[in-house]
Amino acid sequence: MLTTMLNAALGLGFWLAAARLYDTTSVGLAAAAVSALTLVSSFGWFGLQHVLVRYLPVAGASRGKLIVAVYTMALVIALFCAAIFLAFLTEPFDAALLSASAATVAGFAGAVVAWVLFSLQDPVLIGLGRAGWVPIENAAFGVLKLVAIIVLAAAGASSAWAIFGSWAVSAAVLVVAITWLLSRRLLPTMGDTEGRLPGRRRLVGFATGHHFVAVTAALPDFLVPLLVLGLVSADATAYYYAAFTISFAMRLLAVNIASALTVEGARDRTTLDALVRRVLRLGGLLLIPLAALTALTAGPLLGLFGGGYGAEGSHLLRLFALSLPLSAIIVVGLAIERVRERSARAFVVALLAATTTIALDLWLLPEQGIDGAGLAWLAGQALGAALTCLLVLRARAAPAAPSRAAITAHG
């Protein structure tokens, strides 16, 4: 949660600097490029992070092999998706700057590699019980990209690539630093304790199921800015992304709580019901007042970006704030399913929320602009939260089906 607050402040500072130093069109194109980066990268890492969070606490001496396997699989998937995006989707999404030349293609591919590895480092540190390094890493990332964008602007770099490059290069620097920390300092000191990893088939089943769940749930986050660019305008994308940046940081607080639930529940499943009650209390005490405060101050918050950000994006931010408690219910429900090593219910919830949001975006964006995106998101989260309460939270006490290995071990 400390990491999220740091990321929120430094991320807001980054986009504030971009809005002040660059024209609105460049900010909109850069926001779309970052969305494209996170979209294709998310197909590689977004579900596999849960493998690390769920199984590193119990992996023992196999923890290093597990990390390498997850890294490799994530990179293969993400680079394949990047190739598909660059070949077929840059024109429909008005992101042709990414495929304009061999240099831009190579730059985007390198950014994908850096972002996948950077994104997986947090769950590695959390799964290893070294969460204290996470806020340090993310604070360094926020400072690096903020300094980079200011330096590039001072040097006369005025294109969207300056904004995008600040983001990607800063992530690459942190990948090198944290990889050294893990390989030279953290992993060698943890000892070769006996692990309790499931068999390969069960592990692959968990990874596949929750990868689809996570990618499906995250699809609107990364796809909608591209839809705004294609269906509305680059300026509207800049206004949308400013509101999204603030709301996404708030949602990450719920994700942090859910990650803690996953780690502690993995260590001792018998405490899951008590953990869920504590998580829901903490989430309510934190997120409901935060949502109310954001809704009340939406205009002044976005006004910090200058120009028309406050006027154009305040209603959108209020809709995002209203959806925050609903989003928290969904992510807690998905965490319960990860602890129980089940994915079917989680996938149904994620699919309903994502398809509702994207379908309504396609309908509402051309008529209502970015406010339509807010309504679409609120509707998707409301339906997803309702289904979570019905399918997941009510069934949280039902025991997961034991594996064949567990049945054999217990006679």
Quote the CA–CA distance of 100 and 372 in Å, as a whole number.
Answer: 31
The yes-or-no verdict on residue 106 having pLDDT over 90 is yes
Q: Are 91 and 224 in contact (CB under 8 A)?
A: no
- pLDDT 10s digits, 221-232: 878 988 998 899
Q: How confident is the model at residue 179 (pLDDT cuts 50, 70, 90)?
A: very high
The per-residue pLDDT for 57 is 82
The per-residue pLDDT for 195 is 65
Q: Are 189 and 334 in contact (CB under 8 A)?
A: no
Which candidate, 395, 75, 56, places its Cα nearest to that of 259?
Answer: 56
Task: Identify the residue whose tokens are 């829901």.
Answer: 280
Q: What single-letter DSSP state applies at residue 344? A: H
The per-residue pLDDT for 401 is 44
The per-residue pLDDT for 298 is 93
Angstrom CA distances, 292 to 202, 274, 321, stand at 42, 27, 7
| C-alpha dihedral sign at 364, 331, 301, 161 | negative
Angstrom CA distances, 212 to 62, 91, 124, 221, 337, stand at 25, 26, 20, 15, 13
Q: How confident is the model at residue 409 (pLDDT cuts 50, 70, 90)?
A: very low
The yes-or-no verdict on residue 410 having pLDDT over 70 is no
User: Span 161-175, mean pLDDT?
Assistant: 94
What's the mean pLDDT when you consider all of the chain?
86
The per-residue pLDDT for 405 is 36
| C-alpha dihedral sign at 192, 196, 200, 205 | negative
The pTM of the full predicted model, rounded to 2 decimals, is: 0.72
Instruction: Provide the 3-class DSSP secondary structure of residue 310.
Output: helix
- pLDDT 10s digits, 284-338: 898 999 999 999 999 998 988 877 888 899 999 999 999 999 999 999 999 888 8
The per-residue pLDDT for 364 is 96
Token digits for 2? Answer: 């400390």
The per-residue pLDDT for 411 is 35
Which candidate, 331, 318, 335, places its Cα nearest to that of 378?
Answer: 318
Angle 117-266-190 from CA coordinates, rounded to 5°:
60
Quote the CA–CA distance of 398 and 117 in Å, as a whole number.
Answer: 35
The yes-or-no verdict on residue 119 having pLDDT over 50 is yes
Task: Give me Rg for the CA atoms of the chain.
Answer: 21
Q: How confident is the model at residue 407 (pLDDT cuts 50, 70, 90)?
A: very low
Helices then strands, counting H and E runs in the chain, come out as 16, 0
Q: How confident is the model at residue 192 (pLDDT cuts 50, 70, 90)?
A: low
The per-residue pLDDT for 329 is 93
Q: Are 42 and 218 in contact (CB under 8 A)?
A: yes
The per-residue pLDDT for 394 is 65
User: Span 255-278, mean pLDDT?
Assistant: 81
The per-residue pLDDT for 229 is 85
